[in-house]
Structure 1
Amino acid sequence: MKIPFHPKLLDCLPDYTQAQLGKDVAAGITVGVLALPLAMAFAIASGASPTAGIWTAIVAGLITSALGGSRVQIGGPTGAFIPIIYGIVAMYGFGNLLIATMLAGVFLLAMGIFRLGQLIRFIPVSVVIGFTNGIAVVIFMAQLKDFLGLQIAELPPEFFAKIKVLAANIQSVHLPTLALSVASLIFLLFYNRLAQTRTLGFLRRAPGPLAVLVLATAATALFELPVETIGSRFGGIPQELPAFALPSLSLETLGKLISPAITIALLGAIESLLSARVADTTIEDRHDPNQELMAQGLANIAAPLFGGFAATGAIARTATNIRSGGRTPVAGIVHALVLLTMVLVLAPLASHIPLAALSAIVVVVAINMGEWHEFKKLRRFSNNYRAILLSTFFVTVVFDLTIAVELGMVLACLFFIYRMSELTRIERLPLKEHEQEPAFLYPDGTLRITAWRLYGSLFFGAVNKLEILLDPHAGHPEVVILDMQSLIQLDTTGLEGLESLLGKLKKRGCTLLVCGLNSQPGSLLYRSGFIDHLGDENVCTTLTDALARAEYLLPPLQEDEV
C-alpha cells in the first residue's frame, strides 16, 4: 500500500515570496509569545511541570507545522487534554503518560496512513458539544485548588471524590492567592475592552495571557505577596535543552495504557481536524485530514522523547496565527523557534510567575471553550438531540471522556436507526383499473393481485415492515407486485427479509414480482442470487409492465370460485 505522505509545506514553498515571509515571521512571533503562558498553564493544570508543557509546544508545534496537512495549524498542548492527562498522571504516573502519548501517536499515525481522517467528521455535533462543554467543567473544577489557594496536597481525578475533597478543604482558602486569581481573571475577561482604551492601548501589542503573567509577576514581586510560584513548586525552568530519552516500558504497563492512549488519540484527532476545518473557512483553503493525522501522530511520538506529553491542533493559537497574517506552515515553524529562544534566554524569569495567574488563564480557557449558548438552544431541537448532548456532557463530567463519546455515538446511532426506520414505509397501491374486472376478483370482491411500493431504506432496522405483505387481512392474492422505484438502499438483512418473503409467498402458491429496481438494491439482488430464485421473467422495469405480467400469470378461476 502506498502511503500518501505529502505535507502542506511542500505546496507552499514553490510560490513563496519575501512579503509572505515577513507576515509569517510576524505571526510566528505573536503566536510564540501567546503559546508560552498557555503551555505552562496547561501543563501545571494537567499535573505536569511547566517545562513539559513548553517542550510539548516546541516539539509538537514544529512537527505539526512542518509535516501537517493544514497551512496555518498550530500544534501544542491544549485545554481539552487537561482532565485526561491529569487522570493518567494521577493513576499511572508521569512516566507512563509519556508511553500513553507515544502509543496515541502510533494510533494517530495509523489513522492517517489508512485514510481514516474523513471518518472523524461522522461524529455528530451533539456529541462534540457535549464532551467539549463537559471538559470545560472538568477543567474549571480542577483549577479551584490553585485558584483559591486551597491547602490540598493533590486532587483526586474522580468527580465525586474531587467534590468531597474540595468541600472538606474550602475553609483553607488563601486570601492573597484568591485576590490575585480574581484580579487576573477579571483582567483577562475584560482584556479586549481595556486594550481599546487610550490609557491602556499599549496592551494591544501583547496577548492577554502574556500581559497578565507580566503584571501578576510584577505585582507579586512589588507587594511581596505570599503566593505560590513556579519556582516554589517546581524549582523553576531549566535554561537548557532537555535530554533525549526513551521512557521505560513493560508489557504489563503497556496493556493498561491502551485505553488512555485511545482516548488521547481520539480527542487529538477530533480537535486537530476541527481546528483545521475552522481555519479552512477563514483562509479559503482545504486541509488534508489524513496528512494532518499523520503529522499529529509523529508529533505525539516525538514530544515524549523530550519530556513532553499529548498535543494536538490548537484552535485559539491557530486563529491568532491567521489574524496575525500567517498563511503558510512557516509561521508555525517560527512559533516553535520563538518558544525555543524564549526558554533558552528567559527561563530564569519564569521562576517568579505566580501559579494563581496561570490558574486564571486556564479558567478563562475553560469558560471560552464551552459552547454554553447551546444549552439555551436545546428547546429548539428534538428530544433525541437533547438526550445525546446532555448524556455526553454528564458522563464526561462525572465519569470519563472515552465512555462519554462511546455513549454519545451509540445513542446517535440508535436514534438514527429509529429515524431511518420511521422514514422507511411500505404502502399499498390502488389498482382501480382492475377493481371492476371479474377476472381479477375473488367472489368476495378482493383482488387476486396486490401492489405495494417501498420507500426509503430496507435495512435491519426496518425489515420487519415487510410483514404487512403476509398479513391475512391483506387478502390472499395470487400475485404480489413490489414496486422498488422509491427504495434507495438495501442491506443484507433487508435482502434476507425479501428472501423470507419470497419463500413464504411461494408456499401459499403466490408469485412475487419486483419492478423499478435502483442501482444499489438491484446490484445486491442480482449478486446475491435472489433474482435467480425469483426468476428473470418476474423482474419488470415499470409498474405497468409488472401489472401486465401479473395479468398474464393469473390462472382462470375455477367454477367453484366463480
Structure 2
Amino acid sequence: MKRAKMLSALRRSLQSKPSYQDIQANVLAGLTVGVIALPLSMALAIASGVPPQHGLYTAIVAGIIIAITGGSKVNISGPTAAFVVILLPIVQKFGLGGLLVSGLMAGFILVLMGVGKLGRLIEIVPYPVTVGFTAGIGVVIATFQIKDFLGLSIESVDGHYLDKLSAILFSLPSIDWNETLIGVLTMTVLLVWPKFRSKIPGHLVALLVGTLLAWMLSLYMPGFSVATIGSRFSFDINGITGNGIPPILPTFDWPWHLPGADGAPIGLSFELVRQLLPSAITIAILGSLESLLCAVVADGMSGKKHSPNDELIGQGIGNIIAPLFGGIPATAAIARTAANIKSGGTLPLASVVHGLFILVSILLLAPLLSYIPMASMAALLLMVAWNMSEAKHFIRTVKIAPRDDVFVLVLCFLLTVLFDMTVAVAVGMGLAAMLFIRRSISLTQTSMVEGDHTDYDMPDSTVVYDINGPLFFGSAQKALRTIASVRPDVRVVILDMSEVTLLDMSAIVAMESIANDLQKKNIGLVINNLQPRLILKLRRAGVRKRLGKVAFSRTLNDSFEAARKMLLQSPLGQ
C-alpha cells in the first residue's frame, strides 16, 4: 500500500498539465457548484443549531483546503446533512465553541486515520448499516424542519427524538398559515422544477420564488409576516453589529474563545476535551465514511481514481483549519460532487472556485440573503432529507435482502432515529459482524470418509475427516468437535485439510488439544495437505511431526502410507 501523502490530488492534477479548456471548464463547474452550495451551506448550519454564516465559512475554508490537500480531484467538501444529527446535540450542550473544538479534535483524528492507512474503512461497513443510518438521519432532519415549515410556536425542542416529536405534535394547533404558504410554495417549486430539465439549480429558483413572494406579500398584504434569516439571526463581530449574515470575511479566532451553551467563552481544559472526545470520534468516523463513499461514487462517475488515505489526511487538515475561522465540521458532499462532475469538473480548481464564489457572495449578497424566509430554508432541508433517506434503496433492500440484513437495516434505522447515530453504527456493525461470523461458521464443514471408500486403498482401523473452509474462533470448535470422539476400533485419524485456508489462534489451540487427546488414547494423527504457512503455525504451537504419533503428508496416498507405518508400531498396532 502506498504511503499517504499530502497534496496528492493537486500534484496529480498539475502533472497532467491541464489545458486552457480544462481550466475554463473547471472554473465554470466551480461556479455552478457554488450556486448550489450557497443556500445549502446556510440551511445545514441552521439545521445544526448555529448561525448560517458558519456554514458558509465551512464551505469556503474547508472546501478550498480539502481540495488542495486531499486525495480526490473532484470531491466538493463542506457542511453535509449527515452531520446534523451529531452536531445539533453538541451545540445544545456545549454551544458554538464546543462544536468548533470537537470539529478541531475530529480533524486530528482524521489525519491519524489517514497516516494509519485506514483509507479502506468504507469497505468494511455493510450496506444495510449505511442505508439504515442514512435513512434514519433523513427522518430526524425532516422532523426538525416541521417547526419552521409550519411556523409552529414551540418554546423548546430539547430531549430525545420522541420528546421533540411529541412537542411538535402538541404544537400543531399553533400553525402559522403565512409560514406554511411560503414553505408549501417553495416545496412545490423544488418538486416541479426538475421536470423542466433546466441547468439552473431547482433549489436556487425555489428560494428565489419563496423570498420574492414573502417580500411582496409583506408589502401589499397587511399583517403578513414570516421569519427570515435576518429576523432570526444577528451578529456582533469586532464591534460590527447587524441582522442576518455579516458581510465580512471569515476571521481567525481560537474556537475555545467562542461562547459555550451559557454564552460565556467555553475555554480549553482537559475536562472539556474528555467530554467532547466521543463526539469528535463520531464526527471523524462519519466524516471518513462519507468522504470515502463520495470519492468511490465520484470515481465511478468520472473514471478517475482517488487516494483514500490522502483523502482522509486532507479531510483532517480541512477540519483542523476550518474551526479556526468559524467553520463547522465538513466532509465531502455526494450531491455537490456529482454536480461538479456533471458540470465538467475534473480538477481541485473547481472546489477552490466554489469556495471563492461563496466568499464573494458573502461580501456582495449578505444583505439580500437575509431576506430568505426560514420556511423556505425548511422546505429545502426537507428535500435534502428526502434525498438523503434514499427511500427507494431502503424499500428495495427490505424486499430483496436476506432476513438478517433486513434486521440490521431496520435496527440501524430505528436506533438512529430514537437514540443517535453513534449507537446505531456501533450496534449495527457489531450485529453485522456477528451475523457474518455465523454465516462463515456454516461454510466450514467436517465430514468423515467411510472406511470402505472405493477410490483409495484405506488401511483398516483408519478414519479420514475431510475439513473444508477456514478454521477460526467461530468455526474451529464446530469443525473439530466430531474428531474429539472416535470409534474404539480406530487407531489412526487422518485430517484432510486441503481446503483449509485459515488457522487462527483458537483453531491452533483446538488442533493442539485434539493432537494431545488422540495421543493419550494411543491414536495416531496424520495431517494431510495443509498449506505450508499453516503447518508453520502448528509447529510453533508444538504440533510437530512425532514418530508413530503425528505425521504430515501431501496426498491422501501418502497419508495412508503414514497410517500403515503407525499401525505397525507399538502401541498403535496393538
Shorter-chain TM-score bucket reads over 0.9
| TM-score in terms of structure 1 length | 0.93
Gaps of 5+ in 1: 197-203, 442-447
Deviations 1:451-490 (A, max 9, x none): 1111101111112221211225x44411111111011111
The SS at the match of 1:161 is helix
Separation of aligned partners in 1, 2:199 and 2:520: 84
The one of 421, 437, 442 aligned to 1:401: 421
Separation of aligned partners in 2, 1:28 and 1:182: 30
The one of 267, 274, 289 aligned to 2:308: 289
| TM-score in terms of structure 2 length | 0.91
1:504 corresponds to: 517
The one of 311, 318, 326 aligned to 2:345: 326
Separation of aligned partners in 2, 1:464 and 1:552: 29
Q: Does 1:240 align with 2:248?
A: yes
More displaced stretch, 397-406 vs 522-531: 522-531
TM-aligned CA distance change 1:477 to 1:383, over 3 Å: same
The alignment of Structure 1 onto Structure 2 pairs a total of residues equal to 544
Separation of aligned partners in 2, 1:41 and 1:337: 19
Separation of aligned partners in 2, 1:157 and 1:75: 30
Q: Does 1:278 align with 2:297?
A: yes
TM-aligned CA distance change 1:420 to 1:543, over 3 Å: same
The one of 171, 180, 202 aligned to 1:208: 202
1:525 corresponds to: 538
Q: CA deviation at 1:361?
A: 0.6
Matches within 5 A, 1:87-236: 87-193=89-195, 195-196=196-197, 204-224=198-218, 225-234=224-233, 235-236=243-244
Deviations 1:394-443 (A, max 9, x none): 10010010110000111111001111111111111133269999x955xx
Q: CA deviation at 1:3?
A: 5.4
The SS at the match of 1:93 is helix
TM-aligned CA distance change 1:535 to 1:250, over 3 Å: farther
Alignment-mate amino acid for residue 372 of structure 1: A
Deviations 1:511-549 (A, max 9, x none): 111011124423322343322568897111111100011
TM-aligned CA distance change 1:133 to 1:180, over 3 Å: same
Separation of aligned partners in 2, 1:509 and 1:436: 24
Q: Does 1:24 align with 2:43?
A: no
Q: CA deviation at 1:555?
A: 3.3
1:412 corresponds to: 432
CA contact (8 A) 2:496 2:529 kept: yes
Separation of aligned partners in 2, 1:328 and 1:557: 77
1:199 corresponds to: none
The one of 306, 320, 325 aligned to 1:306: 325
1:431 corresponds to: 451
Deviations 1:187-214 (A, max 9, x none): 1012111x24xxxxxxx24211211121
2:482 corresponds to: 468
Separation of aligned partners in 1, 2:102 and 2:327: 12
The SS at the match of 1:413 is helix
Alignment-mate amino acid for residue 319 of structure 1: A
Separation of aligned partners in 2, 1:349 and 1:157: 35
Alignment-mate amino acid for residue 482 of structure 2: I
Separation of aligned partners in 2, 1:464 and 1:33: 60
TM-aligned CA distance change 1:390 to 1:524, over 3 Å: same
CA contact (8 A) 1:489 1:520 kept: no
CA contact (8 A) 1:87 1:157 kept: no
Separation of aligned partners in 1, 2:548 and 2:432: 40
Deviations 1:53-80 (A, max 9, x none): 1001101100121111111100000111
1:543 corresponds to: 556
Separation of aligned partners in 2, 1:46 and 1:6: 30
CA contact (8 A) 1:490 1:520 kept: no
